[in-house]
Amino acid sequence: MKTRITELLGIRYPIVQGGMMWVGRAELAAAVSNAGALGTITALTQPTPEALRKEIGRVRAMTDQPFAVNLTILPTIKPVPYDEYVQAIVENGVKIVETAGRNPEPYMPVFKSAGIKVIHKCTSVRHALKAEALGCDAVSVDGFECAGHPGEDDVPNLILLPAAAAKLRIPMLASGGIADARGMVAALALGADGINMGTRFMATREAPIHENVKRRLVEHDERDTALIFRTLKNTSRIFRNSVAEKVLELEYKEGATFADLKPLVSGERGKRMYETGDTEDGTFPAGLAIGLIEDIPTCAELVSRMIAEARALIHGQLAALAHEN
Ligand SMILES: Cc1cc2nc3c(=O)[nH]c(=O)nc-3n(C[C@H](O)[C@H](O)[C@H](O)COP(=O)(O)O)c2cc1C
């Protein structure tokens, strides 16, 4: 299944696992890459640039296939030494970086001079075009369905992807709301060159998080996410648990500020939740795709099933529609 994305990234299938705070560790990234897709470790999951160097080494010990490092540039509670994380990426010979959060302009010269392919993840046509103008090699366009930060425009992928495809020249990944072959084939029809998934990859055997979190994704459906931080213009789509409900109540009834909400949404609390499996103890991102997750396969099972079903869909149902009579 060759597309501009498989050619650009040197991968077998046009499927990418997006960066995921606390979840995107070497075990998951290597399993995804070994399955023929692109695995990604998340730089800021590592507490220091030195720890990121070690994590890159751990991925290499588990796969000889291409993998990426996600660098999320968002306002954080504690200041992050971004330059040092970038140095760790470049000096360790990483070949693919996924940037997100803010435009990657300050780091483009160093990435480009190291021959790194940059995929910028963004949530609007204008930001995708800006990434193209900055020299990014591809964009990952995240629709309103996505886990994490969908932006403030609220445009779902049925509209956003073809609108972006009409204007972009560089390859585009469709991101947000995809969990199976149907979403993948639809995204390709809408003009994408491949897909990016987060939530679906959380519910895999190799995702290094407590089983309870994975089970919640299977048990719950597409109505069980919440959009927090809307009142702060920093919307985040998360799993709808009692902590998410509390955040919404404070935002909408009491006009809470970020400082008021911080104790509920802190990264440390989220990290602990993934370790203990107490899914009412913190918040975690999850997309509308939870409505489509019914099992916890290995990454290899997931990827090969999606590819087999995509082929069947294209050659079967869709090909049948193309016959004139
Ligand atoms: C648990 C989790 C953590 C995430 N953390 C990050 C992150 O740190 N940086 C980032 O750029 N995207 C992050 N994302 C977003 C994903 O990379 C991806 O864009 C998104 O999940 C796509 O939507 P989907 O979940 O519907 O597939 C996260 C997603 C999840 C589910």
DSSP letter string over 197-260? ESHHHHTSTTSSS-HHHHHHHHH--TT-EEEESTTTT--EEEE-SHHHHHHHHHHHHH---HHH
Same domain, 193 and 156: yes
Same domain, 134 and 227: no
Establish how many alpha carbons lie within 13 A of residue 55's alpha carbon, considering only the half-sphere containing its beta carbon.
28
- How many angstroms is it from 150 CA to the middle of ligand 1? 10
Same domain, 98 and 149: yes
Same domain, 26 and 144: yes
Which is it for strands 172-175 and 194-197: parallel, antiparallel or unpaired?
Answer: parallel
Residue nearest atom 19 of ligand 1, based on CA coordinates: 18
Closest residue by Cα to residue 89 from 27, 134, 46: 46
Same domain, 279 and 299: no
- How many angstroms is it from 19 CA to the middle of ligand 1? 6
Spatial contact of 117 and 9, defined as CB atoms under 8 Å apart: yes
The structural domain count of the chain equals: 2
* 206: CB partners within 8 A, 6+ apart: 27, 28, 31, 32, 298, 299
Same domain, 262 and 196: no
**In which residue are the tokens 């213009």 written?**
233
In tens digits, the chain (325 residues) has pLDDT values of 899 999 999 999 999 999 999 999 999 999 999 999 999 999 999 999 999 999 999 999 999 999 999 999 987 777 899 999 999 999 999 999 999 999 999 999 999 999 999 999 999 999 999 999 999 999 999 999 999 999 999 999 999 999 999 999 999 999 999 999 999 999 999 999 999 999 999 999 999 999 999 999 999 999 999 999 999 999 999 999 999 999 999 999 999 999 999 999 999 999 999 999 999 999 999 999 999 999 999 999 999 999 999 999 999 999 999 987 6
Residue nearest atom 2 of ligand 1, based on CA coordinates: 20
Same domain, 251 and 102: no
- How many angstroms is it from 147 CA to the middle of ligand 1? 5
Residue nearest atom 8 of ligand 1, based on CA coordinates: 21
pTM beyond 0.85: the answer is yes
Tell me how many degrees the CA angle 184-187-189 measures, rounded to the nearest 5.
110
- Helix, strand, or coil here: 111? helix
User: What CATH number is associated with residue 184?
Assistant: 3.20.20.70
Check residue 97 and give its pLDDT. Answer: 98
Same domain, 165 and 304: yes
Closest residue by Cα to residue 185 from 170, 174, 197, 169: 174
**In which residue are the tokens 């399955």 written?**
35
Same domain, 260 and 133: no
AA letter at 150: P
Closest residue by Cα to residue 176 from 163, 152, 203, 158: 158
Residue nearest atom 18 of ligand 1, based on CA coordinates: 198
Same domain, 200 and 228: no
The CA–CA distances, whole Å, from 233 to 147, 226, 227, 282 equal 16, 15, 11, 21
Instruction: Report d(CA 118, CA 228) in Å as an integer.
Output: 29
Spatial contact of 141 and 172, defined as CB atoms under 8 Å apart: yes
- How many angstroms is it from 315 CA to the middle of ligand 1? 31
Check residue 325 and give its pLDDT. Answer: 67
Same domain, 230 and 124: no
- How many angstroms is it from 196 CA to the middle of ligand 1? 9
The CA–CA distances, whole Å, from 247 to 142, 199, 254 equal 24, 21, 10
Check residue 211 and give its pLDDT. Answer: 98
Q: Which domain holds residue 266?
A: 211-288
- Ligand 1 pocket: which of 20, 40, 121, 279 to mutate (most atoms within 8 A of CB): 20
Same domain, 308 and 251: no
AA letter at 182: R
Check residue 282 and give its pLDDT. Answer: 95
Token reading at 76: 């954080």
Establish how many alpha carbons lie within 13 A of residue 309's alpha carbon, considering only the half-sphere containing its beta carbon.
14
